[in-house]
């Protein structure tokens, strides 16, 4: 099943249409290996769907996030970024070079379960970002400055 067929099915199951704008943005997110800002998505979407406005991109991203088809995240840039919501995962982000390896959700599953058990809080988003220094950047920094370092 292609990305568009999968998302069409998910939207139809919820009673929504897969509009050209939604399809364009989902294709952009699906093809990207990085987090994208709304402005980056807008520039790419204009090539696929001429005439799409930046306001439409923002509204569509909000809609896709609400439907669980796109993930919005804070990754230290001060701006929300988006990616396709195909699987639960997390990120480590180096504050110095920006390197951003993914962490599989399975590594944090026990933590999520413990948090829910101890607090009674239902966690409905499984996208966490940890900030620090990658091993390469640590070579040039004093490890005593960072907790646990």
Confidence of residue 144 (pLDDT cuts 50, 70, 90): low
Name residue, tokens 């970002």.
129
Helix (H) or strand (E) holding 130: strand 129-132
Q: For the chain, what is the domain count?
A: 2
83 to each of 9, 34, 77, 125, 128, how far by Cα in Å? 19, 7, 15, 14, 13
Within this chain, do residues 22 and 81 fall inside the same structural domain, yes or no? yes
Convert the pLDDT of each residue in 9-68 to its tens digit.
Answer: 778 888 888 888 998 999 899 888 778 899 999 999 999 999 999 999 999 999 998 888
CATH number at residue 102: 3.30.1490.190
Convert the pLDDT of each residue in 88-122 to its tens digit.
Answer: 777 788 888 878 787 877 888 888 889 889 999 98
Decide if pLDDT at 134 tops 80: yes
Within this chain, do residues 10 and 82 fall inside the same structural domain, yes or no? yes
Please provide residue 8's backbone torsions phi and psi, each rounded to the nearest 5 degrees: -60, -45
Please provide residue 57's backbone torsions phi and psi, each rounded to the nearest 5 degrees: -60, -45
Within this chain, do residues 4 and 47 fall inside the same structural domain, yes or no? yes
Convert the pLDDT of each residue in 68-78 to its tens digit.
Answer: 888 887 766 67
Within this chain, do residues 100 and 128 fall inside the same structural domain, yes or no? yes
- Could you list the residue range(s) of the whole structural domain that residue 7 is in? 1-86
Within this chain, do residues 137 and 73 fall inside the same structural domain, yes or no? no
The model's pTM: 0.69
Within this chain, do residues 80 and 7 fall inside the same structural domain, yes or no? yes
CA-CA distance, 126 to 87, in Å (whole number)? 9
Within this chain, do residues 27 and 38 fall inside the same structural domain, yes or no? yes
Q: 75 with 93: CB under 8 angstroms?
A: yes
Please provide residue 135's backbone torsions phi and psi, each rounded to the nearest 5 degrees: -60, -35
CA-CA distance, 149 to 80, in Å (whole number)? 28
Confidence of residue 3 (pLDDT cuts 50, 70, 90): low
SS3 6: helix
């Amino acid at each position: 099943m292609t990305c568009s067929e999968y998302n069409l099915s998910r939207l139809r199951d919820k009673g929504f249409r897969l509009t050209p704008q939604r399809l364009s943005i989902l294709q952009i997110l699906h093809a990207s290996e990085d987090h994208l800002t709304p402005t980056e998505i807008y520039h790419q979407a204009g090539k696929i769907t001429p005439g799409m406005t930046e306001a439409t991109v923002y509204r569509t991203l909000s809609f896709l996030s609400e439907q669980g088809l796109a993930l919005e995240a804070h990754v230290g840039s001060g701006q929300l970024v988006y990616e396709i919501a195909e699987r639960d995962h997390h990120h480590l982000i180096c504050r110095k070079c920006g390197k951003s390896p993914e962490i599989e959700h399975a590594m944090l599953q026990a933590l999520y379960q413990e948090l829910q058990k101890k607090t009674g809080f239902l966690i409905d988003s499984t996208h966490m970002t940890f900030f620090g220094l990658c091993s390469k950047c640590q070579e040039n920094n004093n490890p005593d400055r960072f907790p646990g370092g």
